[in-house]
Structure 1
Amino acid sequence: MKRIVMSLAVASVCCMVSCGNSVAHQQENVRNIKSVKNFTDDQLMDNVQKQALKYFWDYAEPNSKLGRERYHEDDIYPDNDKHVVTTGGSGFGLATVLVGIERGFVPRQEAVKRLNIMMDFLAKADRYKGAWSHWINGETGKTVPFGKKDNGGDLVETAFLTSGILMVREYFKNGNAEEKALAKKCDELWKGIQWNWYTKGGEKVLYWHWSPDYQWEMNFPLEGYNECLITYILAASSPTYPIDAETYYKGWTRNGTYLSDKEKYGLPMYVKHNGAQEYGGPLFWAHYSYIGLDPTNLSDKLIKNYFDLNKNQVLIDYKYCVENPKHWKGYGPDYWGLTASYSRNEDGSVGYDAHFPQNDRGVITPTAALSSFPYTPKESMDFLRFLYTQKPEFIGSAGPYDANSIHYNNWTTPRYLAIDQGTIAPMIENYRTGFLWKLFMNAPEIQNGLKKLSFKSPKYNIR
């Protein structure tokens, strides 16, 4: 949500970018298009997962090995931020690396060495009551302010990162000596986060930010519904600094008032999406919390099935794009998906925007459909196949570029953002095998935390 309400000034680089950039990659994609057309569905998914991994493997920040906030093939960077690490995107990157190991895309032993570097860096980086800042300098470990007053702990980005850290721990905890040592580092990082501090002295709600300079001046309570559910799950699950169930139900669910009886296209919405109650919010709300948290038949006191909640949000977005009330060229069953990403400003320059039906600017973001595979496998596969067989100019060295628009003369930007590229391989893998869901949901603390909050998941024997 913060990425919607706060200006990402560094993303609003005023330079004209068109499909003429990155010519070498496009020419290579055109040469490969015939073979791609013959790919099976599994081969297509393998291909895009392997490419998305490249962002976090080949283009990682050199010192910390964590995920850079952005990678630009056109080599245009605002404020020379090539060493800015994103904590939330790095959490998605950890999950992506695990997929890479499991699929044989990267050697396990080499991945362990890298992951050790990452955990050692995080242990020494600036922390605020255990939480990391939104951005970190990958060379020094010092906080890079996301905004003037946003120069301290960011609990939501920390939650996305911690979700990845826990999955790494679970994956390696029964391995060889080096792997067990890595798992121990992950465990120590997790146990050092003071989740309950972020209730501002015991209020029954979590707060997004705390800064030693500005204290609670950001004043951003985490209230549903948006992408922040995982923050409450982790806070309740903490073995060292937990919150209670009352904080979840009073804070996150707004005493149950976040429920909705509205429908769109005949599909129940179940919850009030913050600032987007007619159609639902940008699709990353169905992705970020669910890299590890398995929504399949997951329920709590108020929501009967989180999978249905997410599936309906994605289907409403899909049906909106098919209906295409603004008559954007290209929108349809194989070209859809609105979420926050780079965008095209009215003057043709590159900016950043949160796309969703009530803020539809004619820009499609590939991660929206690709990361929705668990909910809409057919619709997501149709998009994936269309993109790789019909629009090679929208594909770069690390998979689909962050955003594109057929309407604006096949506009794209040869750029990537970690938070967008980082959900693709994990969510596709959860659709294929449930790999990351199993790691996270079987963690003992997560099981206890979910039970504390009255969640139920028959799949994992949480009752």
Structure 2
Amino acid sequence: MSFSTSTPPKITRRRATKLLGGAILSGLAASPLVAQQAAPSQPTYSRLLTDEDLVFLEEMERAGCLYFTEQADPASGQVLDRATNKTATGEFDQHFAASIAATGFGLSALCISDKRGYLDTDRIKRQVITTLDFHLNKMPDEHGFFYHFSDVKTGKPLINVEVSSIDTSIFLCGVLTVRAYFNDRRITDLATQLYNRVDWPWMLNGGKTFSMGWYPETGFLATRWDHYSELMMMYLLAIGSPTHPIPADSWSAFTRPPTTFGPYSYISGRDPLFVHQYSHAWFDFAGKRDAYANYFSNSITATRAHKAFCLGLKRGYTDDYWGVSASDWQHGYTAWGGPPLMGPVDGSVVPCAAAGSLPFLPHDCVRVLRALRENFGQDAWGRYGFCDAFHPELHWYDPDVLGIDLGISVLMAENLRSALIWDTFMQNPEPVAAMKACGFRSTRQTTNPSEPKPVAIPSPSQPVTPSTTRPPNL
């Protein structure tokens, strides 16, 4: 979620989506989804992206990565939840709220900055060490879990902010990414201590599924992570913990509700599109499945359904203008999207919706992102890339960018191009062991027979072969 300085966030981004749809879903059984049964197929790749597409992705990544250096406090390493996008100087923003999730995305983005040569390696390593050291030795925590929002300089939690299980998990994904990427004893030591310190059974609070958080005054939240969403990373990190693990059968404790939208059948709750993206930013689910689903294929189907949903709303969405995920809108921050319709979807577009699905539908997502830049870039593009959301017909362009939305955009763009974050994160033995314990196995069966074949839109320089596995390095 995003923090607003006018209203302390008592209900978080994920609690908001949970309250909208979770009650309906909690009674559904965690049974295998028939629609995910696959027919044998081994796709062959032709070129998915043009040179112009790659130039655009490079510009988007470079701009997004810049945020995670300029808008990180030099003494704490914490990354601001949001900052203004229309700035020429890159000075540290006047906002004061840091986001633990944005900081996790930022750690991963620093690996991209190093790999792409955006910054000097020594400069990047100093920021990584500062961040890890501050969070291990100076940042308030509860059983290793961090508060959702904090003062960017002091690390003290903001008023009415919970200790967040999922946002801590996002941070830890960044921690393990830098541990694997940098061959540095200090980084390895700090990162390992941060991960090993987390007391995962404590956050279960006596149940089989994780609580969504904890308040010092009132204790654990009653709402739980009990249906499929971005939660996969949290359960796998916990199962793989070498110090405070939860049982492997916890993987079956959350439900996997089947949903259908038109010709599309897949696993999903009543949640925005980002829930099909976040865990996939780090965990490499491509070409793998467990007893329930091929989750990479599932996210492809969810993205196709979301695009079809947008175009069917008759609210100005086209092949060159679509995508809505939890974000800012003209009147604040909201969890919106679909299918089914949730929130006040009014014709606004949220660039990170398509950017976060780049590995799933490369052609469709690059097409819409390039069109948004070409058609609205004068107003919608700034120092850090796209603003968080905009509505051209209403002449509204968000003045801000959000760290988590830039983060998912940058990481998924790089995963599409080189698989860097996937390959780096999966060098850690704990995630690999956790996926093995949860029954993941490699499979060539990646085509979902229940979904229609996508309509390829090739050009003479860009033949397209749709696929349900991740593309080769670009």
TM-score (norm 2): 0.79
CA distance in 1, matches of 2:164, 2:327: 20
What is the DSSP-based 3-state SS (H/G/I as helix, E as strand, rest coil) of the residue aligned with 1:423?
helix
Out of 314, 317, 321, the position equivalent to 2:306 is 317
Amino acid of the residue matched to residue 119 of structure 1? L
CA distance, structure 1, for counterparts of residue 261 and residue 210 of structure 2: 30
Query: 2: distance between equivalents of 1:293 and 1:162?
Result: 12
Q: Deviations over 1:274-333 (max 9, x none)?
A: xx2xxxx31111221111111212211211x1111101111111112223x2x323x100
CA distance in 2, matches of 1:81, 1:210: 28
**Structure 1 residue aligned with 2:441:** 456
CA distance in 2, matches of 1:190, 1:163: 9
Partner of 2:240: 237
Match of 1:215 among 210, 214, 219: 219
Structure 2 equivalent of residue 224 of structure 1? 227
Question: Contact (CA 8 Å) 1:204, 1:248: kept in 2 or not?
Answer: no
Once the 2 structures are TM-superposed, how far is the Cα of residue 353 of structure 1 from its aligned partner? 1.1
| Structure 1 residue 428, shift from structure 2 partner | 0.7
The equivalent of 2:265 in structure 1 is 268
Other-structure match for 2:188: 183
SS of the residue aligned with 2:141? coil
8 A contact 2:227–2:257 mirrored in 1: no
Pairing partner for 2:141 from 118, 127, 136: 127
Whole-Å Cα distance in 2 between the matches of residues 73 and 451 of structure 1?
Answer: 42
Residues 1:200 and 2:195 are matched in the alignment? no
Bigger RCO (CA 8 Å, 6+ sep): 2
- Counterpart amino acid of 1:49? E
In structure 1, the partner of 2:67 is: 55
Counterpart in 2 of 1:12? none
Q: CA deviation at 1:157?
A: 0.5
Aligned residue identity for 1:400: F
- Are positions 1:116 and 2:116 aligned together? no
Q: Residues 80 and 403 of structure 2 are in contact (CA less than 8 Å); yes or no, is this contact kept in structure 1?
A: yes
Name the CA distance, whole Å, in 1 between partners of 2:442 and 2:421. Answer: 16
Quote the offset at 1:39 in angstroms: 6.8
Alignment pair present for 1:342 and 2:328: yes
Report how far residue 449 of structure 1 moved: 1.1
In the alignment, which residue of structure 2 is the partner of 1:333? 319
Q: Please tell me whether the aligned partners of residues 355 and 363 of structure 1 are also in contact (alpha carbons under 8 angstroms).
A: no
Q: 2:289 aligns with which of 299, 302, 314?
A: 299
Distance of 2:414 and 2:85 partners within structure 1:
26
Report SS of the residue matched to 2:172: helix
Whether 1:248 and 2:261 are equivalent positions in the alignment is: no
Instruction: Name the aligned partner's letter for residue 206 of structure 1.
Output: F
Q: Give the letter aligned to residue 84 of structure 2.
A: H
Take 2:356 and 2:374, find their aligned partners in 1: how far apart are those partners? 19
Q: Which residue of 2 aligns with 1:352?
A: 333
Instruction: Tell me if the contact between 1:396 and 1:414 (Cα under 8 Å) persists in the aligned partners.
Output: no
Distance 1:163 1:457 in 2: 22
Question: CA 1:300–1:403 in 2, change beyond 3 Å: closer, same or farther?
Answer: same
- The match for 2:273 among 266, 283, 286 is 283
Q: CA deviation at 1:210?
A: 2.3
Residues 151-199 of structure 1: CA deviation (Å, up to 9, x unaligned)? 4x21110000000100100111xx2xxx221121111111101111111
SS of the residue aligned with 1:40? helix
User: In structure 1, how many angstroms separate the alpha carbons of the residues matched to 2:282 and 2:95?
Assistant: 28
1:435 to 414, 420, 431: 420
Q: What displacement does 1:4 show?
A: 5.2
| Residue type at the aligned position of 2:103 | S
1 CA distance for matches of 2:232 and 2:421? 17
Deviations 1:369-391 (A, max 9, x none): 11211001011111121122221
Residue of structure 2 equivalent to 1:413: 398
Distance 2:429 2:176 in 1: 11
Mapped partners of 2:181, 2:290: distance in 1: 27
1:135 is aligned with what amino acid? F
Query: Counterpart in 2 of 1:84?
Result: 97
**Partner deviation per Cα, 1:315-360 (whole Å, 9 max, x = no partner):** 111112223x2x323x100111110111023xxxxx1112213032
The 1:376/1:452 distance shift into structure 2, 3 A limit, reads same
Alignment correspondent of 1:18: none
Name the residue aligned to 2:42. none
Partner of 1:167: 177
How far does the alpha carbon of each residue in 1:65-85 deviate from its partner, in whole angstroms, 9 at most, with x for none?
A: 22101102479xxxx972321
Alpha-carbon separation, structure 2, partners of 1:111 and 1:332: 40
Taking the aligned partners of 1:81 and 1:220, their CA distance within structure 2 comes to: 33
Structure 1 equivalent of residue 110 of structure 2: 97
Deviations 1:207-246 (A, max 9, x none): 1212343222x21211112222111010101000000022
Question: Secondary structure in 2 aligned to 1:47?
Answer: helix
* 8 A contact 2:290–2:441 mirrored in 1: yes
> Counterparts of 2:310 and 2:201 in 1: how far apart (Å)?
41
Show the counterpart of 2:464: none
Deviates more, 1:47-56 or 1:314-323: 314-323
Alpha carbons of 1:74 and 1:425: their partners in 2 closer, same or farther (altered >3 Å)?
Answer: closer
The residue type paired with residue 298 of structure 2 is L
Tell me the number of residue pairs that the alignment of Structure 1 and Structure 2 aligns. 391
1:343 and 1:363 in contact (8 A); partners too: yes
Distance 2:231 2:389 in 1: 23
CA contact (8 A) 2:72 2:80 kept: yes
Secondary structure at the counterpart of residue 145 of structure 2: coil
For residues 394 and 364 of structure 2, what CA distance do their matches in structure 1 show?
Answer: 23
- Letter aligned with residue 317 of structure 1: H
What TM-score results when the alignment is normalised by the length of structure 1?
Answer: 0.80
Q: Percent identity?
A: 26
Aligned-partner Cα distance in 2 for 1:315–1:200: 37
- Once the two structures are TM-superposed, the CA of residue 396 in structure 1 deviates from its matched residue by 0.9
